[in-house]
A and B are shown apart, each in its own frame.
Chain A
Amino acid sequence: MNNPPENDQLSIAKYLRQDRLPHIWCAACGIGPALNCFLRAIDKSGLNPDKMSVVSGIGCSGRVAGYVKLDSFHTTHGRAIPFATGLRLANPELKAVVFSGDGDLVAIGGNHLIHAARRNIDMTVICINNFNYGMTGGQVGPTAPYDVRTSTTPYGNFESAFNLPLLLFASGASYIARWTVVHLHQLENTIVEALLKPGFSFVEVISPCPAVYGRMNKEPDGLDSLKNYVKRSIIKNGADPRETEITQNGPIVVGKFVDIIRPTLQENLAKVAAKAKKPSTK
């Protein structure tokens, strides 16, 4: 990655820790473009970057916390959401953004994901989904579609994948969207909306992993995956989350699926606290 000029106010340079670059991501990895969209979305959202924290777990996407020049926390594997929960509740002024990968958020940390959505805690989760554990060499994970090849399923995956929008919908998230990294403008605008949305917002970003997942699934070049996304993507805002399952070669439904109003954890907490503080009637 070429370092963007520091003085370019329109660029994302001001949000990157230049001393941590170059990053570790492979050529044609999708995490970079997704991070770019997030950083641009910060400006667009009008939120104060000084009041924004970024929490990541372990894995390739987990490196984001180390690259952004915001309050950031690189946590242990799977625990980004509970860290962010503590941070958010203890310092309500801070906006909490969890930026991590599918292995981290959905596998080892899957329990935290559904409970955070259930609580509807005011938090934005950006989940890079590349269908495998990229950093450790492309093993099968819970987002790998049935029959895809991974380093631990060389003849095809025998398990079924999570349909993340459906999982998050059933768990109670207020805002759910999905884009691939060829939908950069939509992704950027969606992240703006997600950041401004009260309650739990979840943005799934379908991303190439050319070095391992792509190599094993006939998309050895990142560009192969991008072309594939263009071919397979169907934009369907408001789609029923039951129709958003991703299969090996089937359509990838993208768009904003859920945008509802539910009391947030913080609001409900305040209500109960007010009740508890009521003077005794005796």
Chain B
Amino acid sequence: MTSKLVGIESSLAVSEAVKLANVDVIAAYPITPQTHIVESLAEMVANGDLDAEYIPVESEHSAMSACLGSSAVGARTFTSTASQGLILMHEVLLVAASLRLPIVMAVANRALSGPLNIWGDHSDAMITRDSGWIQIFVENGQQAFDQTLCAFRIAEHKDVLLPTIINIDGFHISHVIEPIYFLDQQTVNEFLPPYKHPYALDPDTPVTIGCFAGPNLYTESMKALDSALRESKKVILETWQKFGEITGRQYKPVEKYKTENADTILITMGSYSENAMMTIDKMQSEGKKVGLVRLRLWRPFPYEEIVEAISGVKNVIVLDRAISLGGPAPVCSEIRAALYATEKKPQIVSIVGGLGGRDISPADFITIVELGIEKIKSGKTEETIMFGVRE
């Protein structure tokens, strides 16, 4: 394998991965901060560097609908969106999952209206949580490149056949220029065999998809979909294992950072994990027993791995970059549920921060850990902390 180090904007690295995956169809609509991804793909198609159809549709709802059509005839299909675009797709997103169409989508995560805000947080991913898509979060441009390639192999695996989202924090990742290792075409071809949907629409062997299901079938359909999504974890693990063997870059559903001997663990997801790592280094150098757990796989939720990573510790502080209005923050809520049945339950505190592009600096993470520990000491762990809010 040859691997080339390139200084490139993360969005363009995603496009490069899509090109290496040799997709057949891209249907997309411009929206900040995703636009660079599809803009560069449009250019690759126009230049003849990528033999694919680029469909410039009139809205995200149409983008996802076009993706359904192309995926249903067995074409490798990619799109990208963010925020309002993702939620405008919603009707069709659920259908993509239930029809088992392995579309791959990069989401440059951004806050939701209103108020209108174009900057990053995880609101769009969280509101898409129950749509039946596999969802993976990345922390930098290299991971965005890697996971885009992995996504095709996962989604199109015959035991999975599920659409997959790569969550790439808007601006914090999408617009950052980084040194990124690219893979050569031959390596990608070996890692990602040509795609063939076993039930593609084909006039020679006609099938009907998307048909009506009454009360006698709907429940079974949902059970089948849920089982497929839960069981996709096996293929996700296999894919990451294989990718690790090729590139030396290892990915796990839940990744631990210096958690040995920690009695307090901070949990993050997405780009802020890198700032958090710097903070953990600093705090440990000062003798504080703090570690970090980074959640990479959001759906299917990695219950066993999260329990393994944090059961037995004293304090867990979960940072969510989305708010669940009127309820517990989404990531923390899952982690509490995962830990409930375990014997050595840690104290868990929920912190919501970094909404609508507000930065959380390494120094802020120290405050976050301190606030979490304070909250646990006060015994009021049922209260969610809104970090940095001006009241």
Measured between beta carbons, the chain A residues less than 8 angstroms from B29 are 108
Measured between beta carbons, the chain B residues less than 8 angstroms from A136 are 30-32, 35
Min Cβ gap A111→B in Å is: 9
Which among B39-47, B161-169, B224-232, B371-379 touches the partner chain?
A: B39-47
Measured between beta carbons, the chain A residues less than 8 angstroms from B116 are 58, 74
Asked if A153 and B42 make an inter-chain contact with CB atoms under 8 angstroms apart, the answer reads yes
Asked if A154 and B43 make an inter-chain contact with CB atoms under 8 angstroms apart, the answer reads yes
Which among A137-145, A170-178, A200-208, A266-274 touches the partner chain?
A: A137-145
Asked if B42 and A152 make an inter-chain contact with CB atoms under 8 angstroms apart, the answer reads yes
Asked if A154 and B56 make an inter-chain contact with CB atoms under 8 angstroms apart, the answer reads no
Closest to A157 in B: B56
Categorize the interface residue count of chain A: 20 to 34
Identify A142's interface contact among B32, B36, B58, CB under 8 A: B58
A110–B47 CA distance with the chains assembled, in angstroms: 30
Closest to B36 in A: A137
Measured between beta carbons, the chain B residues less than 8 angstroms from A142 are 58
Q: A76-B84, A108-B59 are in contact. Are A152 and B47 (CB under 8 A)?
A: no
Q: Which of A133, A142, A152 has its CB near the most chain B CB atoms (within 10 A)?
A: A152
Measured between beta carbons, the chain B residues less than 8 angstroms from A141 are 56, 58
Closest to A77 in B: B84
Identify A151's interface contact among B31, B39, B47, B60, CB under 8 A: B39
B38 CB-CB contact with A under 8 Å: yes
Asked if A153 and B30 make an inter-chain contact with CB atoms under 8 angstroms apart, the answer reads no
Asked if B47 and A137 make an inter-chain contact with CB atoms under 8 angstroms apart, the answer reads no
Min Cβ gap A156→B in Å is: 9
A109-153 CB contact bits vs B (8 Å, 1 = yes)?
010000000000000000000000101110111100000000111
A216 CB-CB contact with B under 8 Å: no
Measured between beta carbons, the chain B residues less than 8 angstroms from A107 are 58-59
Min Cβ gap A161→B in Å is: 12
Measured between beta carbons, the chain A residues less than 8 angstroms from B84 are 58, 76-77
* Number of A-B residue pairs having CB atoms within 8 Å of each other in the complex: 55
B219 CB-CB contact with A under 8 Å: no
Identify A152's interface contact among B31, B56, B88, CB under 8 A: B56
A74-112 CB contact bits vs B (8 Å, 1 = yes)?
101110000000000000000000000000000110100
A245 CB-CB contact with B under 8 Å: no
Q: Which of B30, B35, B58, B60 has its CB near the most chain A CB atoms (within 10 A)?
A: B30
Closest to B39 in A: A151
B113 CB-CB contact with A under 8 Å: yes
B181 CB-CB contact with A under 8 Å: no
Asked if A110 and B56 make an inter-chain contact with CB atoms under 8 angstroms apart, the answer reads no
A154–B39 CA distance with the chains assembled, in angstroms: 10
B133 CB-CB contact with A under 8 Å: no
B54 CB-CB contact with A under 8 Å: yes
Closest to B47 in A: A154
A74–B39 CA distance with the chains assembled, in angstroms: 27
Measured between beta carbons, the chain A residues less than 8 angstroms from B46 are 153-155
A136–B113 CA distance with the chains assembled, in angstroms: 17
Closest to B54 in A: A152
Asked if B56 and A151 make an inter-chain contact with CB atoms under 8 angstroms apart, the answer reads no
Measured between beta carbons, the chain A residues less than 8 angstroms from B60 are 108
A193 CB-CB contact with B under 8 Å: no
Measured between beta carbons, the chain A residues less than 8 angstroms from B88 are 77, 108
A71 CB-CB contact with B under 8 Å: no
Measured between beta carbons, the chain B residues less than 8 angstroms from A154 are 42-43, 46-47
Closest to A78 in B: B59
A259 CB-CB contact with B under 8 Å: no
Min Cβ gap A73→B in Å is: 11
Measured between beta carbons, the chain B residues less than 8 angstroms from A140 are 56
A50-83 CB contact bits vs B (8 Å, 1 = yes)?
0000000010000000000000001011100000
Q: A76-B84, A137-B30, A154-B42 are in contact. Are A159 and B113 (CB under 8 A)?
A: no
Closest to B41 in A: A152
Measured between beta carbons, the chain B residues less than 8 angstroms from A133 are 30
A74–B117 CA distance with the chains assembled, in angstroms: 12
A268–B116 CA distance with the chains assembled, in angstroms: 36
Measured between beta carbons, the chain A residues less than 8 angstroms from B54 are 152
Measured between beta carbons, the chain A residues less than 8 angstroms from B56 are 139-141, 152-153, 159
Identify A139's interface contact among B30, B47, B113, CB under 8 A: B30
Min Cβ gap A107→B in Å is: 4
Q: A77-B84, A154-B47 are in contact. Are A139 and B39 (CB under 8 A)?
A: yes
A152–B15 CA distance with the chains assembled, in angstroms: 14
Measured between beta carbons, the chain A residues less than 8 angstroms from B59 are 77-78, 107-108
Min Cβ gap B264→A in Å is: 41
A6-22 contacts to B, CB under 8 A, are none
A107–B31 CA distance with the chains assembled, in angstroms: 13
Closest to B115 in A: A74
A–B Cβ pairs within 8 angstroms, 8 of them: A77-B59, A78-B59, A108-B88, A136-B32, A151-B42, A152-B42, A152-B56, A153-B46
New A-B pairs, 5, CB < 8 Å, besides A76-B84, A152-B38? A77-B59, A78-B59, A108-B58, A141-B58, A154-B46
The 8 closest A-B pairs by CB, nearest first: A152-B42, A136-B30, A108-B59, A107-B58, A139-B30, A136-B35, A154-B46, A140-B56
